[in-house]
Each structure stands twice: as C-alpha cells, then as structure tokens.
Structure 1
Amino acid sequence: MGPDSAPREGPGGDAVLSVSELNRAVASLLERSIPPLWVAGEISNFTRAASGHWYFTLKDSGAQVRAVMFRGRAQAVGFTPREGDRVEVRALAGLYQPRGDFQLGVELMRRAGAGDLYQRFLQLKEKLRAEGLLDDARKRALPPLPARVGVVTSLQAAALRDVLATLAARAPQVPVIVYPTPVQGAEAPAGIVAALRAAARRAECDVLLLVRGGGSIEDLWSFNDEAVARAVAASPIPVVCGVGHESDVTIADFVADLRAPTPTAAASLAVPDRRELLQRVARAAQQLSGTQQRLQALREQRVDIATRLLRSPSAYLEARGRHLDGLARRAAAAGAAALHRPAMRLARAWSLLRPPDTQAHGRALESLCARLARAQFQALQRRSERADALVHKLELVSPQAVLGRGYAIVRREAGEIVRSPAQVSPGERLDVLLAEGAIEVDVSGDASGSRP
C-alpha cells in the first residue's frame, strides 16, 4: 500500500493527511462552496498548447489567478485572446491537485463589456436583416480590373500601410485614393459616413476598401454603428470590408458587398495580381500564335493542292487549239459530204435519162453548182463564225491573254507564287513569266512594296 492510502493518527490523536489527500479535500471544498461565476480581468501569459487547450493568467491591478480553458470550450469562443485583452469569463473555481495551484476552469469567455454590446449588435443585425440589407442578392460582384481603388481609413492606421503595400505588390499600375477618417472613438462613425459619401459623390473609384486593424470590441464598435452600416449599404461603389482580425466580425462586414478577414486580404481581393494577369496574357498569346500557325499551315496546304490542280497556260492553249482543229476538220468534212451527195444523185439521174439538152442541162447544172457553192460557203462561214466565237471565249479566259495585257506571274525559286511583298526578302531571286517568255529578277529594298 502507498504511504498516502489511509490517514494516520498524530501524537494528539488527530489524523495526519498526505499532500494528495489535502489537495483533494481542498478541491472538493472549493467545488462545493463556490458555484460557477463570472470573473473580469486582463489576459496575461496566454499560451495555446499543442493539444488546443488555453492556459493564461487573469489579473487586475491587485491580484491574479491562473486559468485554463480546454479545447472543446475554446473552440466555441469567437476570437483568440491576446496579451492585455480585457475579458469576462464564466469559470468554476478549483485546485490543480498535482501542484496545489488554485485555478479557474473557464467554460465561457467574452470581451469585457460584451454582454450589453453584443445584445445591441444582435438587435441591429436583426433589424438590418429584416430590411433586406444583409441579403446576398443585393451584393455586387467586384470589378475584375478596377481602374482606381479607394481606401477609407485613418491616415495613421497600420492597416493603411499594409493595404498600400499589398496593392503596390499586386497591382502597381492601379492608382489608390485615400479617404481619411477616424476609425476609433466617438467621432469615428460620422467620419466614416462622410468619407463613404465623399467617395460616392466624387465617383472616381471602381471599388472601396473600408479597413482597420484589430482591437477590442470597443475599438471596433464604430463599425457596428447603424449610420455606418446604412452608408456602406447605400454606397454606389462596391465596398470590401476588412476590419480587425479573422475572428472579428462587425455589422459593416454583413452589409458590405464582400467581407475580408483582414485589411491585407481586402486589398488582395480588390485587385488581381499583375503577375498572374501577365501570365494569362502570355498563355493567351501563345495559344493565339499556335492557332495562327495552324491556320497558316492549312492555307499553305490548300495552295499546294490548288497548285497541283492548276494547268500551265501553254498546255491549256494547246489543248484548246487541238479541239479547234478538230472542229475545223469536222466542218470541212461536213461541207465535202454536202457537195458529194447531190453530185452522186445527179450522176445517177443523168445515167437514167436520155441524152438531155446539153445547153439547158448545162445551165441547170451551173445553177445547181452555184447553189451548192453558196450553200457550202454559207455552211463553212457559219462554222467559221462559231469557231471564231469559241476562240474568242477561250481567249477571254486564257491566262495567256491576261499575260498579253501586261500582267505577269511572279514565282519564287521553289515555285511558290508571290502575292504580297511580305513573302519575299531583299536579295531573293524571282522568276517572272510574261506573255512572251520569262525573265529572272533580284529583289532589292525592304518588303514594304519597293520595286526590284
């Protein structure tokens, strides 16, 4: 058995307690005697353990007490306390038995004075919600590429320096206009409202950043003012609200078009990163260049196919000439046949008749021969006129006729037809096909249209 398993009697008959027994008895007495209560004080020596538990000292001007808030309770707190914060905690007084230290087991935590302020916060929030000012449907999207950015804050605020540094890093080409106003104190709400109205009246920005650094609930209370909330909602310019730290939430956050967890985040949300934009432009240019190259290759392929299908002018004219020769032979044969058939008929008739009156028949034969000659001549003339018309039509569409009017066909050494000065380079040799023969020329000057 251990040394403190059972109490022993002292010299006078009194029980002798071990340290563990004493601490257990004191802890039990504290838990029975002191119900859970609210304690106000200032945070000191705050530590967040790897387990998620919070350890800190709660103090005032005359005393201090250690406190612990376990992870499950700490996760329900809407903010992370910092050194010097004034808070109110609901805690159970107890004793940490292994060390015999008196401590508070904290169950709830709020900023000092947050009870009344929080109720006012909730009342105003519900009032604005009933009016529809918190609806997501009325909130506007930020412009993707703002021309100017406005900042509503104090000139002495550290948040302003953070915002300006972030804007300069992300979008140095975007001008920034600052609308100065107090962001803390009794005069802050009226100053914020006046700054927002001035920005709306001047209409020189595409987006407004309403920013302030962190602080206590009292420090940030100007952003829970009803007049400020209504001015933010009424702004014709989209408003990004970045007030306090990520855990700080104000009425202005709810009515703004976009809430940012910090002032720096507000600046990042307001403007795109210039480097990302340049990368997007570079990718788009690369895609455009690839598309252009593919289209050019397709057109060059179509030109190659058309070149293979295109017959030379001399071969085309030679084929048309052979066709005309055939037509002429057919016309001559048709004329000869037209004369031969009447002559044969005349010969057969002559053989069947008695010797005719030679003079009469001679005159008739001469008349018939004259008629046949006229008919042959007319037939040949019609066919000749038709052949001339066909030749004329062929000449109209003949590339040789185009060349005969003073035009020329210019080819590069590889056979590619030149259609633009941009296709050739200074010093390049070109073949020029004329109506009568061809010549070689050298290109001099640039490709802007100067003559070789």
Structure 2
Amino acid sequence: MTKALSLYELNSLVADVINTTMARSYWVEAELSEARENRGHCYMELIEKNQGSNVPVARASAKCWSNVWSVIMPYFMRVTGQQIHAGMKVMLQVHAQFHPQYGFSWIVDDINPEFTMGDMIRKRQEIIRQLKAEGVFELQKELCLPMFCQRIAVISSETAAGYGDFSNQLETNEYGLWFHVELFSAVMQGDRVEQSIIEALNMINSREDEFDCVVIIRGGGATADLSGFDTLALAENVANFPLPIITGIGHERDESVLDMVSFLCVKTPTAAAAYLIDQLATTLMRVENAQTAIIEGVRRKLEVEQMRIRHIGTHIPVLFSVVRTKQEARLDGLSQRLVGRMTESLSQSQFYLNTLRQRMLPAVQRHLSDESHKLDMLEQRARLLDPSLLLKRGYSITLYNGKTVRSAEELKEGALITTRFETGEIESKVERLKKMS
C-alpha cells in the first residue's frame, strides 16, 4: 500500500523546491487592486489586466514586512508625492516564499518609485491631451474674476487646518474688507476625492448666482494621496465650470491636472486668501482713486464756474441798464399798440351794437303786439269760463272734499257734500244714492 504524505510534508517539499530553484529576487510590474497596512506591515493584492478587455489575467498576493516597509515607503512618498493605493501601477522587487503553514506569497524587497512616476506622468499627459482635444483645457483662463469678488464658495474638508487658515485670513485682513465664505464639505484625500469634489461642484452650480468664485483648498499634512486631483472627470467638471475656480491644495512638488485647468493655481490655502484680499484691495484702491478724481474734478469745475459767475457779475449793471432801456422802449411800443387796438375794437363793437339795435327794434315791437293780442283773447276766454257766471244763471256747484262732483258714483252714502249758489252755500249729507238707468 502506497504511503500518503501529510499536507505539511507536501508543503515542505514545495517550499524546498521554491527555495532551491527561485532563490533570487525578481522585478515585476503589476497594478495594485488592494494595499493596506497592519501593524507596520503592508499587504498587497497584485493584478495584471488584459489591455484589450481590461480583465485580470493574473493575480498574486504580496507582503512587505515592517523592517523593509519602514525604509522604502518614506522614500517612495518623497519621490512620487503619494502613498501606494489601489489602481496604482508599481514595479516591485520580490522573492518567492512558500510557508508550509501559510502557503505561498511574494515578499517585497523594494519598490521602484521612478516606474510609478512614469506611469503617473503618462496618465496625466493622456488626460491633458484629451482635455485639449475637447477644447476645454483653457476655458477657465477665459473667465474674469469679478471686481467685487466677495462671495466665496469653498470646497474643502470641514476639519482641515487649511480651511481654518483660509477663513481666518479673510476675516482678519488688514483692510477690513468683508467676505462671505460658505463651505461645501468634501473628501480631500483617498479614493473618494473625485466623486466628493464633483458633488460639491454640482451643489455650487445649482446656486451659481450666489457666488463670485470657487476655492478648492486642501492644505495641511503630507502631500501624499494627490492622485484624486489627476482624474479626467474632475478636470472636465472644473474646466467647464461657469465660475472662476482657484486651487490651493498645498503641494510644492508639481501641478496636478486640476491645477492646470483651473482659473488660478496657488500653492497654499493662505495664498488663495491673500490673492482674494489683494484683488478686492485693488478694487477698493481703484474706487478710492476714482472718488478722489471725482472730488477733484468737481472742485475744479466749481472754481471755474465761480470765476465765470464773478466775471458775469461785473457786467450785470451795464447789461441790466441796456436791457432795461430796450425793454422799456418795447413796453411803450406795446402799450401804444394795445391802446390803439382797444380803441379800434371798442369803436367796431359800438357800431355793431347800434346796427343790431336798429335791426331788432321793429321785430321786438311786432312780437310784443302779437303777444298782447293773444293775452286779450285769453282774457276773454277766461271770463267766459268763470264759474260765477253759471251761478248767476241759477246753476249750482256741488263739492266733495273741496273737489267738484261730476258724477254720483264719486260719492258714498253718509258723505258730507257742499252745494254752492250765486249767494251762499249749504252742506248736506248723502242719505241714499240712486243709480240712473
């Protein structure tokens, strides 16, 4: 019967083979899919992607022990300005290790920062090329910062020291200038930089009319983890933004793509604050100079006008005498013409009235004669209709409630009636009414 090996024995055989056949170190190029530190050690997951499909074609785990990591990582950060992170391409010097208990892994002996720098530069150049091809690389440079740039939208971490320095410098500026600063909090380090800043830009864009410019500041701490500012999506958002964007993300090594496409790039948040203060101070100086020029211009104009008035004042008596003589002569002429016109008008009106009187007199006399004749006729008719003549002939008049009774139907039984004669009148009471058939 064949005797089987234990797993430990098998792994020990593999370890011996690897230690014998792969004793030396190898330089390998790979992309980090994960990188994390734990108790001073660094644990990495390495992948290689197919260029056509971007699908991983190889995977491996790597470890860098603390004694090596504490030496190579500071140097890597000084050269590249970044910590290692997922998505970064690296060149590692590794040797194989197969442990019977823990299995196989690559042990990192060194990292080549120049390789990573080259990859970063290639990526940056590709982003710049694409931005220029889209025609947006210089768009921010074509904007103008408002003369009274006081309403500032700030994109930064709320707890960042750089944001505090920026706000404090604006508030305590030596000119006593007023600035309104509103913070749009964002993640300024790590994998979420791009997404977080774009979200903040979108919020500011929805309130575009409330701000004069945008300041993106980081500042404080190390200059590592700046890869988030070298992305195409973030650069496109900044390049196409309608307000001027000033960047002060606090690194001295070189410019990020974000710095290149912004309206203005300064090195630190305090430099951004100083720039805004200088801009507004320049505007204040221009306003004060204009105010001085206006006051001086008005003063000179008043002096000239005062001299002109004094000059005119010396000529007023002579001019007034000449004017008065001319006006008096003119008034005399007008008075004579007015009297003549009035006399002529009165004469014509008198003649017209006399003519009307001569024409109207015969007509008035005829009209009065006709009307007198009409009155005589009316008087005769009125005499004939006088009720007293009827009474003298033996007729009587019956009255009820002061009105003449013309029909028995106007009376009721018991009504008091008055009968008037030529001489005197009597009152009687209706006892019975008799209807005529």
Normalised by the shorter chain, which TM-score bucket?
0.3 to 0.5
Larger radius of gyration: 2
Higher relative contact order (CA closer than 8 Å, sequence separation 6+):
2
